Copies of this chain bind each other. A is one copy, B any other.
């Protein structure tokens, strides 16, 4: 298992998810950075076709997180979180963003997530991330947010906390009754489950020889998912299932190096090759049935 100390690694859900999605579709990001944030980084994102008009630059320090991962990379501890300019962030969509058909709400206060939904004109699909902090601390605002979205993307522990139900199949049914018609439960190296009107669907995580840094894997997953849906302009159950492979593929690249380094290095050929490898991973040779 690799280990090391890494400082000043570019992070943020918007970075991971937009870089992942940019391999598949045009991306527009909304966010806030402090006066310390390098302009070159935003220029790098723009060079990938990512629209950064919605990124506000504000006097003060950028958000910073410092933490420690366990040896097996399965859990992490926050050592220091400095909100900086993020503390007073109120996302405001530029006029050119308002017709975006596919919207991913990053993990911010659920009331702010609702504000963003209110700024978009008839999107095809609104997806949201959230976390234990809001589930425990802002249940009413979160309940409101759930009613405004089409897809919730959370991990297994969050699904259990949100529903109060340990079994994930039952937890999923409970959460879907609260608003989102589609739910994805991520299980890290164990893959992800999709629950929607098409039933239940599972995509594995890609078995890797080297896993360096799980930071951003979930955001890359979400970016890959939305990128695929946006590329095809389709949010049907079939498109969702196919998008799950792109989501898992982008998540798998993310963990192969520190921060977004690997994500920034890969091109469409790498993604294409991994999608092929994914298909081999689950290919059981066509129709399978058991004639009684």
Which residues of A approach B to under 8 Å, CB–CB?
A: 1, 72, 166-170, 187, 190-191, 193, 199-202, 204, 207-211, 238, 241-242, 244-246, 268-269, 271-272, 275-276, 279-285, 288-292
Contacts and interface: CB of A to CB of B under 8 A. Distances in A.
Contacts of A209: 167, 169-170
- Copies of this protein in the assembly total 2
Chain A facing B: main interface SS: mixed
Contact of A168 (B170, B207, B242): B207
A242 B288 contact: yes
A292 B276 CA distance: 12
A236 to B, nearest CB: 9
Contacts of A201: 280-284
Contact of A276 (B72, B276, B289): B289
A279 B285 CA distance: 12
B242 A285 contact: yes
Contacts of A167: 1, 208-211
Which of A167, A191, A193, A284 has the most chain B CB atoms inside 10 A of its CB?
A284
19 contacts: A167-B208, A167-B209, A170-B209, A187-B190, A190-B191, A193-B207, A199-B280, A199-B281, A200-B281, A201-B282, A202-B207, A204-B204, A242-B284, A242-B285, A269-B292, A271-B290, A272-B291, A275-B290, A276-B289
Given A72-B166, A168-B207, A209-B170, A202 B289 contact: no
Contact of A245 (B169, B241, B280, B288): B288
Given A166-B1, A289-B272, A241 B283 contact: yes
